[in-house]
């Protein structure tokens, strides 16, 4: 429900607060004790909600963690849809990734904030969360392929293959950065090499995907 002034209504604001409270309680407990060592019941108790309410907001335990990345699942698709006229999808995605590096966006892996690093390690050390991230990656590929079909008039197979390659490159770059900062390399020191790696990767993509047309 939206009020006449465009702001969320009271009920919606209450739902947002409950969602945030559950999320904060879950992440705090997971980082302190470990994902597998904390039960859903303990999260619900810490957030002062019932298990039924918790599952209404987060259908699976893994969603308590992965939801923080939810906006990124369709991020590349949004970048492609919102790109300026006469800009190719790859050019828009390249600039967006470089902007993420400059801003130390955690999704690029170039963020050495202790809390971010601890959350990243927990995800990588938990098989069920790694599996959930693979579903996240597949969703990103589907969304990007759809955006390429809709805005670049790209045939279905071409769009699907292009999306798989682009998402794979983005993830590989992020994983490389994550590995470096996780093992102690400061993000600021890693930045120049991260940019060089991204430029190289997108140049390779462009050589293979140069026939993707610019937006009309």
Into which CATH architecture does domain 10-61 fall? Orthogonal Bundle (1.10)
Higher pLDDT pick, 7 / 29: 29
Task: Name residue 2's beta-bridge partners.
Answer: 8
Backbone angles phi, psi at 110, to 5 degrees: -100, 65
Answer whether residue 180 shows pLDDT above 90.
yes
b/e for 10-41, b at 16 or more Cβ within 10 A? eeeeeeeebeeebbebbbebbbeeebeebeee
Q: Is residue 2 pLDDT above 50, yes or no?
A: no
Q: For residue 72, what is the enclosing H or E element?
A: helix 70-73
CB 146 within 8 A of CB 160: no
Alpha carbons 190 and 181: distance in angstroms, whole number? 8
Answer with the residue of higher pLDDT: 9 or 156.
156
CATH 1.10.600 fits 68-209, yes or no: no
Question: Mean pLDDT, to the nearest integer, of 98-121?
Answer: 95
Predicted pLDDT at 112: 95
What's phi and psi for 5, nearest 5 deg?
-85, 5
pLDDT at 137: 94
Burial 108-147 (b: 16+ CB within 10 A, else e): bbbbbeeebbebbebbeebeebeebbeebbeebbbbbbbb
In this prediction, residue 1 carries a pLDDT of 42
Sorted by where each begins, the domain ranges of the chain are 10-61, 68-209
In the chain, what percentage of residues exceed pLDDT 70?
94
Phi and psi, residue 105, nearest 5°: -65, 125
Question: Is residue 141 pLDDT above 70, yes or no?
Answer: yes
- Residue closest to 90 by CA, chosen among 199, 195, 209: 209
Mean pLDDT of 87-103: 97
């Amino acid at each position: 429900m939206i009020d006449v002034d465009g702001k969320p209504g009271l009920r919606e604001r209450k739902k947002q607060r409950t969602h945030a409270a559950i999320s904060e309680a879950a992440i705090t407990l997971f980082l302190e004790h470990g994902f597998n060592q904390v039960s859903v019941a303990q999260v619900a108790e810490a957030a002062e909600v019932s298990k039924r309410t918790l599952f209404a907001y987060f259908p699976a335990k893994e969603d308590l963690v992965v939801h923080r990345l939810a906006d990124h699942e369709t991020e590349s698709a949004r970048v492609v849809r919102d790109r300026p006229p006469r800009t190719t999808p790859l050019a828009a995605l390249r600039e967006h990734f470089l902007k993420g590096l400059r801003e130390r966006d955690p999704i690029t892996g170039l963020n050495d904030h202790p809390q971010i690093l601890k959350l990243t390690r927990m995800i990588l050390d938990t098989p069920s969360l790694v599996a959930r991230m693979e579903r996240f990656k597949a969703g990103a590929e589907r969304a990007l392929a759809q955006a390429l079909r809709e805005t670049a008039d790209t045939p279905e197979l071409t769009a699907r293959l292009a999306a798989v390659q682009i998402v794979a490159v983005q993830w590989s770059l992020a994983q490389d950065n994550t590995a470096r900062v996780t093992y102690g390399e400061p993000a600021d020191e890693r930045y120049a090499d991260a940019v060089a790696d991204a430029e190289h990767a997108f140049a390779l993509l462009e050589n293979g995907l140069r026939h993707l047309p610019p937006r009309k």
